[in-house]
């Protein structure tokens, strides 16, 4: 796949390749439950509602663009993961997908743990009351200050990403009179079937220590020899938006073979294995994600089988889903501005946000769906590209979609499945003000991350 499907230029895809987009849906007013949050539905008035609240009312109260997260759905998905993995396994929500203090509290209440990968995420987690021992700290270049804070706070585990870090964490922990629980992140040589930018377990990338060439075994030897560290397990994360369990199977097999090697060489059976996150969600009706209980069963079986073959006690498994929990629970609400038909090509629909609130289309060539949500329409489908208001022609939110031909300025449209990696990767490009995140539940809406203001921009600009 090309790394840059939309080279910045005056026009994109001016010749529509055959089969590039699917046929128009039979009912443009239908909302596919695969891509919309659980409580999203159409009301009698024709407008869409979430958590019992009409989007037209939400737009009036909170403005657009805005992200609306269905708290009921978030909690249900978190609980489904927790229940699927049961008491013998741990679920660490990957905070990078989207983190706020409200979310941390939901996770805490639903019995999940939390994976953080920066000092900022750690601060958010701790300030919302997540117990430190339920936090895992990740990152390929943690600073001394971050490591110190994590050790002092008493995080449940630090995931070591390099030989340098093994020594650094040991030194800091020892200096603080602590013995820090750690895992070692290994790269298992699996290239998950996904976009190149987000595949992480093949060798030529920045994360982890390779199993190949005995590097990971050497890392284990060093970690075991250092007083400041308590090595509890091995970590692997093979990529993102993965549907095929085969990659996890190979990863689990290779991690277990390292555990067997460690047992043979050091007489130690490491008690934990973390298989990371990366489970795919439905962005469009063409995607078919697996349910948490299927994933839990598949992973549990793979690890148990491999451990039996290696005559190892089955370690405690953990996973780190981010997108699979938060992704489907939110949508972005936009107001339609300019509608520009390009004869023989498509209609460009400009919205009041864009690549500053969803960079994924530009960055990964990601696919999204979109619907008219402020009313229904019986008009014919028209092929559209939903674009933002930024000064850049790659500023595309939804590449190819169908909306009713009577779409007009002032209509509200929504892009589903934007809960993960949209607000968390949002930027101030063109001095855009990052949209709020509004949690909706049982007829009530509350802002959990407020909209940025021009005062916020000026406060950072110290003149």
Q: Which residues are annotated as a binding site for pyridoxal 5'-phosphate?
A: 278, 320-323, 421
d(CA 261, CA 247) in angstroms, rounded, equals 21
Do residues 187 and 207 touch, judged by C-beta distance below 8 A?
yes
Applying CB under 6 A, which of residues 76, 198, 217, 224 lies at the interface with ligand LLP?
A: 198
Do residues 223 and 259 touch, judged by C-beta distance below 8 A?
no
Taking the complex as a whole, the smallest distance from the CB of residue 136 to ligand LLP amounts, in Å, to: 9
Rule CB under 6 A: is residue 360 a binding residue for ligand LLP?
A: yes
d(CA 78, CA 55) in angstroms, rounded, equals 25
CB hemisphere CA count around 11 (13 angstroms): 8
3-state SS class at 175 = helix
Q: Which residue has the tokens 């946000």?
A: 353
d(CA 351, CA 386) in angstroms, rounded, equals 7
Do residues 91 and 321 touch, judged by C-beta distance below 8 A?
yes
Q: Pick the closer one to ligand LLP by CB: 228 or 277.
A: 277
Task: Fill in the per-residue mask, 128 to 167: x = in contact with ligand LLP (CB under 6 A), - = not in contact.
Answer: ----------x-----------------------------
H-type helices in 272-409, by residue range? 292-309, 323-326, 360-364
Site for ligand LLP in 251-290 (CB under 6 A): 276-279
- Select the span of 61-69, 233-241, 265-273, 298-306 touching ligand LLP (CB under 6 A): 233-241
Site for ligand LLP in 69-98 (CB under 6 A): 94, 96-97
Site for ligand LLP in 416-435 (CB under 6 A): 420-421
Rule CB under 6 A: is residue 99 a binding residue for ligand LLP?
A: no
Rule CB under 6 A: is residue 296 a binding residue for ligand LLP?
A: no
Taking the complex as a whole, the smallest distance from the CB of residue 325 to ligand LLP amounts, in Å, to: 8
Phi, psi of 404 (to 5 degrees): -65, 145
Q: Count other Cβ atoms within 10 Å, centred on residue 75.
A: 18
Rule CB under 6 A: is residue 103 a binding residue for ligand LLP?
A: no
Taking the complex as a whole, the smallest distance from the CB of residue 161 to ligand LLP amounts, in Å, to: 9
422 in catalytic set: no
Applying CB under 6 A, which of residues 71, 73, 90, 115 lies at the interface with ligand LLP?
A: 115
d(CA 213, CA 225) in angstroms, rounded, equals 20
Residue 445: closest CA among 35, 57, 27 = 57
Q: Pick the closer one to ligand LLP by CB: 335 or 357.
A: 357
Residue 342, burial from CB neighbour count under 10 angstroms (0-12, 13-18, 19+): exposed
Q: Pick the closer one to ligand LLP by CB: 72 or 240.
A: 240
Site residues (CB under 6 A) for ligand LLP? 94, 96-97, 115, 138, 198, 237, 240-241, 276-279, 320-324, 360, 364, 420-421
């Amino acid at each position: 796949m090309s790394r840059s499907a939309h080279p910045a230029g005056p026009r994109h895809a001016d010749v529509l390749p055959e089969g590039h987009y699917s046929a128009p849906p039979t009912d443009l007013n239908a909302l596919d439950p695969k891509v919309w949050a659980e409580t999203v539905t159409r009301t009698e008035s024709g407008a869409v509602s979430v958590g019992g609240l009409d989007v037209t009312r939400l737009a009036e109260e909170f403005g657009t663009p805005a992200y609306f997260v269905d708290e009921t759905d978030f909690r249900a998905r978190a609980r489904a993961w927790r229940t699927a993995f049961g008491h013998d396994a741990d679920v660490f929500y990957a905070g990078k997908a989207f983190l706020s203090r409200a979310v941390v509290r939901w996770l805490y209440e639903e019995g999940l743990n939390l994976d953080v990968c920066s000092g900022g995420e750690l601060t958010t987690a701790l300030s919302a009351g997540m117990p430190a021992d339920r936090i895992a700290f990740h990152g390929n270049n943690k600073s001394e200050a971050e490591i110190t804070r994590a050790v002092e706070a008493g995080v449940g585990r630090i995931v070591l990403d390099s030989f340098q870090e093994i020594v650094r964490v040991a030194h800091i922990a020892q200096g603080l009179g602590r013995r820090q629980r750690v895992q070692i992140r290994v790269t298992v040589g699996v290239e998950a079937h996904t976009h190149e930018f987000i595949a992480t377990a093949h060798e030529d990338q920045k994360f982890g220590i390779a199993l190949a060439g005995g590097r990971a075994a050497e890392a284990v030897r060093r970690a075991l020899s250092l007083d400041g560290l308590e090595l509890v397990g091995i970590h692997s994360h093979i990529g993102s938006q993965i549907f095929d369990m085969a990659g996890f199977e190979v990863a689990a097999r290779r991690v277990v073979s390292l555990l067997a090697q460690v047992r043979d060489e050091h007489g130690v059976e490491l008690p934990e294995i973390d298989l990371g996150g990366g489970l795919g969600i439905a962005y469009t009706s063409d995607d078919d994600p697996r349910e948490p209980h299927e994933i839990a069963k598949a992973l549990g079986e793979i690890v148990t089988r491999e451990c039996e073959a290696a005559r190892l006690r089955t370690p405690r498994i953990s996973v780190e889903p981010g997108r699979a929990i938060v992704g489907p629970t939110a949508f972005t609400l936009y107001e339609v501005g300019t509608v520009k038909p390009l004869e023989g090509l498509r209609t460009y629909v400009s919205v009041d946000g864009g690549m500053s609130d969803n960079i994924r289309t530009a960055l990964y060539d990601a696919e999204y769906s979109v619907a008219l949500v402020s009313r229904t329409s019986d008009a014919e489908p028209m092929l559209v590209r939903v674009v933002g208001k930024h000064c850049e022609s790659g500023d595309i939110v939804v590449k190819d979609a169908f909306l009713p031909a009577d779409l007009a300025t002032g209509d509200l449209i929504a892009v589903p499945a934007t809960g993960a990696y949209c607000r968390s990767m949002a930027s101030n490009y063109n001095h855009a003000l990052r949209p709020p995140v509004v949690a909706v539940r049982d007829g009530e809406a509350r802002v959990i991350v407020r909209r940025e203001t021009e005062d916020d921009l000026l406060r950072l600009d110290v003149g």
